[in-house]
Structures are given as C-alpha cells and as structure tokens.
Copies of this chain bind each other. A is one copy, B any other.
Amino acid sequence: MNIGEAALRVQLPTKTIRYYEEIDLLRPGRAANGYRDYSEQDIHRLQFLQRSRSLGFSIEECRLLLSLYQDRNRESADVKDIALAKIAEIDRKIGELRGLRSTLSKLADHCHGDNRPDCPIMDELSGEEHA
C-alpha cells in the first residue's frame, strides 16, 4: 500500500507518516520503484500512533507505549502508570489554565471596553498600582 492510501486509512498527513519513519517509529518496506509499501502491520502501528498522539501522549511516550505493545510479557501496571502520569499532567495544565482564565476574566470584567483609553487590563500589565 502506498503512503497516500495509508494516510487515508489512518487519518494522518503523509508528511507526518514520513516523519514517524525518520524518527524510527516504523519501518515500512519499499516497492521496486522506491515507493514506501505499507503492510497491515504498519497500518496497525500508524493507527496506534494516531490514537495515542490524539490522547495527548508525546512522541517519546508513544515510542514507549509501542514497545510495551509489542512486549508480550508487559505488565498492565506499566501501561497504567503512563496513563496515570498523563492524567496528572493534564490536571496540572487544566489548573494552570483555570488560573489564567480567572485572572483574565476578572480584568476583562473591570474593563468598560469602550472608546476611552483607560483600561484596567493595561494597568495590570504595566504594573500600575490599583486605585
């Protein structure tokens, strides 16, 4: 299967698929004409990558998950640990974003938002003392 068809199957751009090969996440065979030739197993790996990336795992985490995936003696605890660490990371990010949101919306609430120049958002950014 050529890269274009593989791309359609797994819903990834061809550029991305070639990039994954470049960083050794998979090694498709080559046809006589030099074109990459994807087997069902390659498609499976790409699918796995697409899914794990879309769940927010980094490339290196995906590499680890893939190796666990190949490992018939893996312990499910190892996989679960990675997932739990990712959940903790997501929680941290959400917390941070919530903090930013609250600060910004407080500032925006106090800004009248008309054609006059005075603006509490600017005051805050410039470090002016509050009245």
Binding site for B on A (CB under 8 A): 44, 47-48, 51-52, 55-56, 65, 68-69, 71-77, 79-81, 83-84, 86-87, 90-91, 93-94, 97-98, 100-101, 103-105, 107-108, 111-119, 121-122, 124-127
Q: List residues of chain B with CB within 8 A of the CB of A116.
A: 75-76
- Helix, strand, loop or mixed for chain A's interface? helix
Whether the pair B83, A121 counts as a contact (CB closer than 8 A) is yes
Q: How far, in angstroms, from A126 to B34 measured CA to CA in the complex?
A: 29
Known A-B contacts A108-B84, A114-B76; the reply to A51 vs B127 at CB < 8 A is: yes
What's the minimum C-beta distance from A38 to chain B, rounded to whole angstroms? 16
Q: List residues of chain B with CB within 8 A of the CB of A80.
A: 108, 111, 113, 119, 121
